[in-house]
Amino acid sequence: MSRHRAHEPEDDETTTFPRVADAAPTADAASITSVLPVFPADATTVLPVITPATAPPPSRPDASPSPAAPVSPAAQFGQVAADETTQLPRITDQTVPPPRIARPAPAVASGRAVATDETGLLGAIPPAPPPSAEDEAKPSPRPRWSGEPPPAPVKAIRAGEKNYRSIHSEYTRTTVGSVIRTTLRGTGELMITFGLVILLFAGYEVWGKTAIVDAHQTELEQQLNWDEPVVGPTPSASASPLAPLPGNAVAKLYLPTLKKHWVVVQGVTQKDIRFAPGHYPNSAMPGQKGNFSVAGHRNRATFWNLDQLKPGDKMVVETKTTFYVYEVVKQRIVLPTAVEVVRAVPPTMEAGKLITLTTCNPKLDNYQRLIIHGKLVDEQPRSEGRPVELAGMS
């Protein structure tokens, strides 16, 4: 397919649909610019010829109107005459250049961002502005450490001809109010410290001593050795047992009502009863006729809740061979000087096989004594097992 340049005027650059020419060629047919080649009458058309039904095709302004020509039979069956041409839109040789982006004028360095050019992706970094006279007059900042001693934090002002004083002297001078405030502040700090010491001591008495006593009770239970076989001659029943040494284990004391039990040691000195109840050396032994007297501290680990024992409650003493069951008879409070409560027959008590427990009263003090009296009601050999009063106790 060939393309020819058009020489018609500018107003001829329009889209002209195909038209059917007259049977005889005219002189104007040769001047029509053809966009597609002319096919002979017997050739097959490549593009179909669309024949307008009513309106005639547009013509040039200078052409005279011609009478309507009959449609040839060849055009009715899709064939094109030898001089017929199909005119498509005219393509001019003028090219449209792409729009040009004007280059902006360079910005003056003023501390603001500079506009980008056609190829820049980010704004150009402006140069640093020149130092002004005001900036040059400012002194350079002092480094953190220059080797020189720091300046005096407090300035002095003149007070008289030869004296100087601090500018804060009005706020730091000694007055009656400042002395009172300092005294109250020191007293408050001292009382807070004293209160903390008291709290620490109370915590030690409640929890610290309990742990220490429990540890020593375990060691005392190992000293009894009641389950080991006896090596050597067996002592006769008539022979009186030897008194244990001070601090050694004597027996076990159970208080089923309080769910407590301890190993009782020999002696009632502060050293002896530090971690366990102590047996008065001049009193009777467990199960003997007389008064088996025991003393203990009023702390959480020992006789703290001894006041909860009431008449009728049971107390059990375990020795190497026998369980002795006592029953509470009386509870009373006496002065520390009332030593008659540990005699063989205490006041208001009848002679027999008795037991007496003593401790301080009230709690955390010792200006009184709490006394528990009891009498023997049952005996049971250890070979028969534990008595029913100890059911549920470890």
Whether the predicted pLDDT of 328 surpasses 70: yes
Band of pLDDT at residue 392, cut at 50, 70 and 90: confident
- pLDDT tens digits, 284-293: 999 999 999 9
79 within some domain: yes
Average of pLDDT values for 138-146?
A: 61
CA distance linking residue 76 with residue 386, whole number of Å: 136
1 to 39, 48, 373: CA distances (angstroms): 11, 16, 140
**In the prediction, which pLDDT does 73 show?**
47
Radius of gyration over alpha carbons of the chain, in Å?
64
What tokens does 208 get?
């610290």
Minimum mean pLDDT range among 46-55, 183-192, 281-290: 46-55
**In the prediction, which pLDDT does 364 show?**
79
Whether the predicted pLDDT of 130 surpasses 70: yes
210 within some domain: no
Domain termination site, one of 59, 92, 125: 92
205 within some domain: no
33 to 6, 20, 44, 66, 285: CA distances (angstroms): 6, 15, 21, 20, 150
CA distance linking residue 73 with residue 79, whole number of Å: 9
Residue 17 one-letter amino acid? F
User: Bridge-partner residues for 255, per DSSP?
Assistant: 260
* More confident call, 64 vs 373: 373
**In the prediction, which pLDDT does 327 show?**
96
Domain termination site, one of 92, 126, 151: 92
Start-to-end Cα distance in the chain: 120
38 within some domain: yes
The question of whether 168 is a catalytic residue gets the answer no
Average of pLDDT values for 34-48?
A: 49
The question of whether 360 is a catalytic residue gets the answer yes
What secondary structure letter does DSSP report for 389?
Answer: G
Taking Cα atoms as reference points, which of 308, 273, 314 lies closest to residue 294? Answer: 273
Whether the predicted pLDDT of 71 surpasses 90: no
What tokens does 39 get?
């096919």
* More confident call, 273 vs 231: 273
Of 7, 216, 279, 360, the catalytic one is: 360
- Ranges 40-49, 85-94, 251-260, most confident: 251-260
Residue 167 one-letter amino acid? I
- pLDDT tens digits, 96-113: 566 666 565 555 555 554
124 within some domain: no
Give the position of tokens 């030593």.
339
Is residue 306 classed as helix, strand or coil in its secondary structure? helix
What tokens does 357 get?
């427990």
CA distance linking residue 317 with residue 13, whole number of Å: 135
If you write DSSP's letter for every residue of 307-332 in order, what string do you get? GG--TT-EEEEE-SSEEEEEEEEEEE
What tokens does 293 get?
């007297």
Whether the predicted pLDDT of 300 surpasses 60: yes
Helical residues (DSSP H) of the chain, grouped into ranges: 73-76, 133-137, 169-172, 176-203, 209-224
264 within some domain: yes
* Pairing state between β 353-361 and 290-295: parallel
Domain termination site, one of 42, 74, 92: 92
- Number of domains the chain is built from: 2
Whether the predicted pLDDT of 229 surpasses 70: no
**In the prediction, which pLDDT does 246 show?**
74
Q: How many CA atoms lie within 13 A of 248 on its CB side?
A: 10
What secondary structure letter does DSSP report for 7?
Answer: -
Range of the domain at 63: 1-92
Environment class of 180 (CB within 10 Å of its CB; exposed 0-12, middle 13-18, buried 19+): exposed
Residue 387 one-letter amino acid? P
Whether the predicted pLDDT of 391 surpasses 80: yes
Band of pLDDT at residue 88, cut at 50, 70 and 90: low
- pLDDT tens digits, 191-228: 999 999 998 888 877 777 778 888 888 888 887 777 65
- Residues 60, 14: contact at Cβ < 8 Å? no
105 within some domain: no
CATH code: domain of residue 256:
2.40.260.10
Residue 271 one-letter amino acid? K
13 within some domain: yes
CA distance linking residue 270 with residue 278, whole number of Å: 10
* More confident call, 137 vs 307: 307
User: Bridge-partner residues for 334, per DSSP?
Assistant: 369
Tell me, rounded to whole angstroms, the distance of Cα 109 from its chain centroid: 53
